[in-house]
Amino acid sequence: MSSCCLCDNRQLAKQLQHMTFCQSSDKGYVRCEVMITVHVCDTCGMQTVEEGTDKIMDEAFVREYRNKARLPRQKSAHRVR
């Protein structure tokens, strides 16, 4: 469990947050929506995103970029449950 980088408090509450961001690409700006986990310090209010959030954002961008560019989906992207 990580602690707050400002006040060293270890009481961090996990919050699921909806985030929208835009990233530029050769097809113009791509709008992405993701759900990310944020650790919020209950003492000073410092918010820290969970490790791996970059990857979640990258994946969301690739997904939206493919939609925008109308590229055929790769077979490897299909996962059979």
State yes or no: residue 22 binds Zn ion (CB under 5 A).
no
Give the residue among 20, 23, 33 at the shortest CA–CA distance from 60. Answer: 33
Tokens of residue 46, six digits: 């410092």
In angstroms, give the least distance from the CB of 6 to Zn ion.
Answer: 5
Angle 10-16-61 from CA coordinates, rounded to 5°: 120
Among 14, 21, 31, 44, binds Zn ion (CB under 5 A): 44
State yes or no: residue 5 binds Zn ion (CB under 5 A).
no
Return residues touching Zn ion (CB under 5 A).
Answer: 4, 6-7, 9, 41, 43-44, 46
